[in-house]
């Protein structure tokens, strides 16, 4: 059945739906509500909370009153219920004069407001029967009521349009309802229990299908050039460094070496907390690649991080006679020309850079290894483009992606199920944990006094704010620009205080970060732009304004900007005490923090931060971490148990159908 055949969808509405990515009946049926309004049970007036939507019941005893002024109309009335009275008002809805049955029972759904002690139900809708009303994302040109009516008509064809995708036996094992029931109840639930069953089924299915698509992608991995890496090469690399590796570093480099020797191109994620030594592992992979006669390229999200990697590599890899190069966008044309030539003629064994590494005109002589650092800052296509640069015939370079964002292993399996995962779960000895403290507003002056003492010792500090500029609607939230102005004029007057934010011009941002890294500033006020990719060992203080507005994992990343040198370092969270924030005062383990963040915020919220998230679009994650684990476990059983081969084939066949265009991309990343 075509969309245009549904009553209520004319040419203009068809265009509006297509603009939203809805081009088929199936697309429409899988466009699920964003939320639901509980219009089932009226609440006593005494329990109503200002600012919250509510359903009330009673009678309108007095005739409604109408007034108009300044182009605005107002209908006002009063509702009498068993436990009191409530003022009612409708703006620019004059028809409510006729829609209020005086003296008759009525139910109203709206948002309660309170001003000067007077509570009012504003712009309430008349509810004719108890229901759970779905609320969809707005579609331009289609009123919400009309969209619901269209959806009800479309559901008549759900059996033909959306055949069952999961085997009956699998559904029984995992307690999942049928697909057609799930889709109907997800749109217009009979009860909240039915809604829970429906969303569980759909969430489980989508997670399972994603896992199945990744399983197919693994089977489609491209051929790679097996590198001739002699036994003991990993140990020889570690011996060339001035410090001993941790057991975790040795284990992960051994896993990489094993991959590099294979005929299938490596696709491995190295994940570890700030300071665990991932860069040394990456340099080890570069050394192994060089020993096998191949070039390598390492792409970073910012120029300052690319330059830091380049300078560290020159120092660390010099004894191994590995010729290092740098290619970034701010270079002069003549410098870029020399860099391009050095890569193409093989003069450089490894190169560090930003997006400039994948620009047109860059050619590699024998690229065998591609590394992306802080990989969540890159999209799928950017990483794929770098890999394509080194493709020779059917053989592709090996791929290593690095992340300093700790992710619980369960979630990592969902996000990166197409990658082999190595976790660096050990910190080098001697690293001083960052001391984290909650600071209430009344201790602000003392905090700035401590900050000045640290600056007097020759150290540096960050002050991070949630907003760039002041907001009228968030007047209690501090902005970077206002904070910078206040600090330079008052508490930190006389100190060198810099300012940067995300939308600042790239040149200005890079210069500010460079100056701070070079010690030309004492304090850097910023937004979360400094969350990753800034390494300033001299910085010992991190101050986070309105810390309650950040997620735990993000606060942990910000904390990781200090404590990179030998001096004791501090992270101060300016906020009232809460159980969530106290977690950071009790542990520096990023994986424990991330697990707690996952439990508090839910996986859907965390996944929403993934930049290359097109593969995850449409996930129905309701915060159920156990459901994530169950879907992963189910797919593992389908892969490993021969008696479930027929179930696996049915699931993978459905995954191929739904993910056909994206499976190829997954296989390359």
**Gap between the Cα atoms of 506 and 509, Å rounded:** 5
Q: What are phi and psi of 494, to 5 degrees?
A: 95, -15
Considering only residues 421 and 215, tell me which one the structure prediction assigns the higher pLDDT.
421
Question: Alpha helix (H) ranges present in 177-246?
Answer: 179-187, 192-219, 233-239
**Structure-derived torsion over alpha carbons of residues 122, 126, 132, 136, reported in degrees to the nearest 10:** -60
Q: What are phi and psi of 524, to 5 degrees?
A: -115, 115
**Gap between the Cα atoms of 202 and 208, Å rounded:** 10
Question: Alpha helix (H) ranges present in 549-644?
Answer: 552-559, 579-586, 590-601, 603-607, 625-640
Please report how many Cα atoms fall inside a 13 Å half-sphere around the Cα of residue 295, on the Cβ side.
25
Identify the pLDDT of residue 473: 59
The model's confidence at residue 591, banded by pLDDT at 50, 70 and 90, is: confident
Across the range 586-594, mean pLDDT stands at 82
Identify the pLDDT of residue 412: 63
| DSSP sequence for 491-507 | TTTTS-EEEE-TTS-HH
**Gap between the Cα atoms of 112 and 11, Å rounded:** 39
**Gap between the Cα atoms of 215 and 655, Å rounded:** 10
* Measured CA angle at 467 (ends 463, 473), to 5 deg: 140
Tokens 């106290």, residue located: 582
Percent of the chain with pLDDT over 70: 87
Considering only residues 238 and 626, tell me which one the structure prediction assigns the higher pLDDT.
238
Q: Which of 83, 84, 136, 89 is nearest to 108 (CA)?
A: 89
CB 211 within 8 A of CB 166: no
Considering only residues 605 and 12, tell me which one the structure prediction assigns the higher pLDDT.
12
**What are the boundaries of each domain within the chain?**
1-36+137-162, 41-129, 227-261+276-403, 435-587
Identify the pLDDT of residue 498: 93
Express each pLDDT in 176-206 by its tens digit: 999 999 999 999 999 999 999 999 999 899 8
First to last CA, the chain: 37
CATH 2.102.10.10 fits 227-261+276-403, yes or no: no
Structure tokens at 533: 């990719």
Percent of the chain with pLDDT over 90: 51
Across the range 25-48, mean pLDDT stands at 92
Identify the pLDDT of residue 615: 35
Express each pLDDT in 261-293 by its tens digit: 998 888 888 888 877 889 999 999 999 999 999
**Dihedral-angle region of residue 70 (phi above 0 means left; psi in -120 to 50 means alpha; beta otherwise):** left
**Gap between the Cα atoms of 350 and 603, Å rounded:** 37
Strand spans (E) along 316-424 = 324-327, 350-353, 367-372, 395-396, 398-403, 420-424
The model's confidence at residue 665, banded by pLDDT at 50, 70 and 90, is: low
Across the range 219-242, mean pLDDT stands at 86
Across the range 582-606, mean pLDDT stands at 73
Residue 541, helix vs strand vs coil:
strand
CB 240 within 8 A of CB 319: yes
Express each pLDDT in 58-76 by its tens digit: 999 888 999 998 889 999 9
CATH of 41-129 among 1.10.1530.10, 2.30.40.10, 3.30.360.10, 2.40.50.140 = 2.40.50.140
CATH number of 435-587: 3.40.50.300
**Gap between the Cα atoms of 582 and 574, Å rounded:** 12
Identify the pLDDT of residue 346: 92
Express each pLDDT in 353-388 by its tens digit: 988 888 888 899 989 999 988 655 555 555 566 667
CB 408 within 8 A of CB 600: no
Considering only residues 92 and 469, tell me which one the structure prediction assigns the higher pLDDT.
92
| DSSP sequence for 275-335 | TS-HHHHHHHHHHHHHHTT-EEEEE-SSHHHHHHHHHHHHHHHGGGTPPEEEE-TTS-HHH
**Gap between the Cα atoms of 437 and 577, Å rounded:** 10
Residues linked to residue 65 through DSSP beta bridges, in sequence order: 76
Q: Which of 114, 107, 116, 68 is nearest to 90 (CA)?
A: 68
The model's confidence at residue 667, banded by pLDDT at 50, 70 and 90, is: very low
Identify the pLDDT of residue 408: 64
Residue 127, helix vs strand vs coil:
strand
Across the range 256-260, mean pLDDT stands at 95
Residues linked to residue 54 through DSSP beta bridges, in sequence order: 110
Structure tokens at 4: 């245009």
Identify the pLDDT of residue 608: 40
CB neighbour burial string for 210-233, b if at least 16 within 10 angstroms, e if fewer: bbbbbbbbbeebbebbebebeeeb
Q: How far is CA 100 from CA 39, 53, 79, in A?
A: 18, 20, 10
Which of these ranges, 131-140, 331-340, 383-392, 396-405, has the smallest mean pLDDT? Answer: 383-392
Identify the pLDDT of residue 212: 85
Domains 227-261+276-403 and 435-587 equal at CATH topology level: yes
Identify the pLDDT of residue 219: 62
**Gap between the Cα atoms of 511 and 507, Å rounded:** 6
CB 523 within 8 A of CB 463: yes
Task: Tell me the average pLDDT of the chain.
Answer: 85
CB atoms within 10 A of CB 640: 9
Identify the pLDDT of residue 341: 94
Express each pLDDT in 503-521 by its tens digit: 888 788 888 988 998 999 9
Q: Which residues contact 132 (CB under 8 A, 6 or more apart)?
A: 36, 37, 38, 39, 40, 188, 189, 191, 192, 195
| DSSP sequence for 517-535 | HTT--SEEEESGGGSSS--
Structure tokens at 507: 């040149």
Residues linked to residue 89 through DSSP beta bridges, in sequence order: 76, 122
Q: How far is CA 52 from CA 120, 144, 623, in A?
A: 12, 20, 22
Across the range 237-246, mean pLDDT stands at 92
Residue 33, helix vs strand vs coil:
coil
How many angstroms from the chain centroid is the CA of residue 75?
A: 44
**Gap between the Cα atoms of 224 and 205, Å rounded:** 33
Across the range 342-357, mean pLDDT stands at 92
Tokens 């008509």, residue located: 153
Examine the pLDDT at 576 and tell me if it is beyond 50: yes
Express each pLDDT in 94-116 by its tens digit: 999 988 989 899 999 999 998 88
**Gap between the Cα atoms of 45 and 83, Å rounded:** 6
Topology (CATH) of 1-36+137-162 = DNA polymerase; domain 1 (1.10.150)
CB 668 within 8 A of CB 384: yes
């Amino acid at each position: 059945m075509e969309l245009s055949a549904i009553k209520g969808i004319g040419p203009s509405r068809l265009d509006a739906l297509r603009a939203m990515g809805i081009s088929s009946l199936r697309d429409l049926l899988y466009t699920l509500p964003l939320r639901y309004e509980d219009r089932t049970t009226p609440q006593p007036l005494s329990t109503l909370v200002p600012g919250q939507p509510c359903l009330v019941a009673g009678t309108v005893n007095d005739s409604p009153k109408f007034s108009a002024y300044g182009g605005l109309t107002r209908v006002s009335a009063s509702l009498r219920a068993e436990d009191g009275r409530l003022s009612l008002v409708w703006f620019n809805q004059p028809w409510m004069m006729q829609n209020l049955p005086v003296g008759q029972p009525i139910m109203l759904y709206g948002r309660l407001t309170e001003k000067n002690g007077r509570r009012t139900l504003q712009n309430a809708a008349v509810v004719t029967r108890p229901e759970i009303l779905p609320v969809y994302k707005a579609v331009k040109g289609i009123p919400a009521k009309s969209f619901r009516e269209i959806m009800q008509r479309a559901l008549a064809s759900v059996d033909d349009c959306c055949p069952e995708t999961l085997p009956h036996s699998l559904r029984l094992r995992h307690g999942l309802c049928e697909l057609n029931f799930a889709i109907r109840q997800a749109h217009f639930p009979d009860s909240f229990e039915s809604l829970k069953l429906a969303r569980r089924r759909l969430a489980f299915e989508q997670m399972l299908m994603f896992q199945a698509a990744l399983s197919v992608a693994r089977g489609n991995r491209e051929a790679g050039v097996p590198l001739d890496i002699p036994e003991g090469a990993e140990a020889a690399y570690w011996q060339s460094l001035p410090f001993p590796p941790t057991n975790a570093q040795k284990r992960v480099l051994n896993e990489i070496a094993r991959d590099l020797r294979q005929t299938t191109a490596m696709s491995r994620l190295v994940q570890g907390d700030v300071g665990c030594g991932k860069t040394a592992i990456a340099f080890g992979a570069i050394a192994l690649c060089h020993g096998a006669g191949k070039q390598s390229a390492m792409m970073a999200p910012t120029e300052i991080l690319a330059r830091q990697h380049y300078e560290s590599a020159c120092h660390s890899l010099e004894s191994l006679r590995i010729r290092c190069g740098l290619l970034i966008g701010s270079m002069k044309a003549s410098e870029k020309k020399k860099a391009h030539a050095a890569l193409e003629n093989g003069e450089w064994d490894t190169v560090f850079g930003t997006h400039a590494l994948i620009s047109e005109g860059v050619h590699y002589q024998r690229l065998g290894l591609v590394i992306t650092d802080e990989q969540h800052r890159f999209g799928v296509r950017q990483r794929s483009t770098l890999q394509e640069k080194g493709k020779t015939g059917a053989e592709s370079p090996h791929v290593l992606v690095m992340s300093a964002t700790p992710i619980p292993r369960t979630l990592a399996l969902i996000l990166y199920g197409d990658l082999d995962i190595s976790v660096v779960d050990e910190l080098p000895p001697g690293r001083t944990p960052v001391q984290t403290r909650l600071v209430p507003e009344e201790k602000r002056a003392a905090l700035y006094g401590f900050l000045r003492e640290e600056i007097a010792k020759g150290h540096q500090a960050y002050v991070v704010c949630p907003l760039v500029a002041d907001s009228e609607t968030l007047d209690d939230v501090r902005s970077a620009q206002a904070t910078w102005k206040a600090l330079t004029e008052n508490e930190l007057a006389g100190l060198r205080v810099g300012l940067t934010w995300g939308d600042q011009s790239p040149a200005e941002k890079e210069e500010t970060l460079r100056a701070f890294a070079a010690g030309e500033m004492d304090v850097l006020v910023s937004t979360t732009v400094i969350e990753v990719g800034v390494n300033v060992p001299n910085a010992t203080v991190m101050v986070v304004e309105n810390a309650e507005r950040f997620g735990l994992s993000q606060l942990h990343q910000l904390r990781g900007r200090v404590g990179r040198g030998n001096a004791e370092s501090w992270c101060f969270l300016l906020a009232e005490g809460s159980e969530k924030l106290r977690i950071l005062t009790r542990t520096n383990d990023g994986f424990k923090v991330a697990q707690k963040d996952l439990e508090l915020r839910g996986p859907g919220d965390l996944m929403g931060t993934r930049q290359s998230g097109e593969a995850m679009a449409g996930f129905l994650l309701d915060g159920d971490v156990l459901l994530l684990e169950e879907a992963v476990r189910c797919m593992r059983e389908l892969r490993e148990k021969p008696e479930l081969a027929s179930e696996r084939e049915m699931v993978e066949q459905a995954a191929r159908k739904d993910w056909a265009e994206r499976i190829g991309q997954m296989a390359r990343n």
